[in-house]
Amino acid sequence: MCLGPHVPPHLLSRRKFGFLAGASLLVPFAARAAEVDALALTCIDYRLVEAGVRFVNGLGLTKDFDQVALAGASLAAVSDKFPSSNKAFWDHVDIARSLHHVKRLIVVDHRDCGAYKVAFGPDFAPKPPEEDAQHKTVMEKLKAQLATKHPELTSEYYLLALDGTAKRLL
């Protein structure tokens, strides 16, 4: 007898219920998991793809985050220079909320970012502390937009150095 999702209560005996409950333990965790803790926003820069994932894993999120990579990371989400990236980012936030019920956004920008050079042109700040301040300003804009669009999400903002070390900016 096949028991579908709409089994009348009188057809579900204790024995059948016990069997179904026990069988659910045999389903691999990944197949059952509908939630991950975070959505990580990283840059596409080939130099830091692995370092970005290692960093997010180091936050205790191994196999517990979705990832979206866009040129400039936080900049892609908010800059007028990249309107299609803005839309892509917010679409991915909506998808991650819908599919995996993410609870927080982890933003990982990096030093010497080409997208920042494109967006800021001659106003690009190539060295700390000006570079930190430029990233922090963009991140604050993203944080404000996130508070309006997704107030249920918390957020953290980091700046990754080319050697893979990072510091929290917000």
Provide the token pair at 55.
């960093």
Q: Which helix (H) or strand (E) holds 145?
A: helix 130-149
C-beta separation of 40 from 66 below 8 A: yes
pLDDT for 73 equals 98
- pLDDT tens for 109-150 read 999 999 999 999 999 999 999 999 999 999 999 999 999 999
| Percent of the chain that is helix, strand, coil (3-state, to 5) | 50, 15, 35
pLDDT for 12 equals 52
* Within a domain: 23: no
* Within a domain: 58: yes
* Within a domain: 149: yes
Helix (H, G, I), strand (E, B) or coil at 69: strand
pLDDT for 135 equals 98
- pLDDT tens for 33-83 read 579 999 999 999 999 999 999 999 999 999 999 999 999 999 999 999 999
Q: Is the pLDDT of residue 93 over 50?
A: yes
Q: Note down the domain range covering 96.
A: 35-168
* Within a domain: 16: no
Helix (H, G, I), strand (E, B) or coil at 96: helix
pLDDT for 34 equals 78
* Within a domain: 25: no
The CATH number of the domain where 164 resides is what?
Answer: 3.40.1050.10
* Within a domain: 10: no
Residue 22 to residue 24: CA distance in whole angstroms? 5
* Within a domain: 7: no
Q: Go through the chain and tell me how many residues it has.
A: 170
Helix (H, G, I), strand (E, B) or coil at 108: strand
Closest CA to 30 of 97, 105, 100: 100
Count of domains forming the chain: 1
Which stretch of 4-8, 59-63, 96-100, 145-149 has the lowest confidence by average pLDDT?
4-8
* Within a domain: 15: no
Q: Is the pLDDT of residue 7 over 50?
A: no
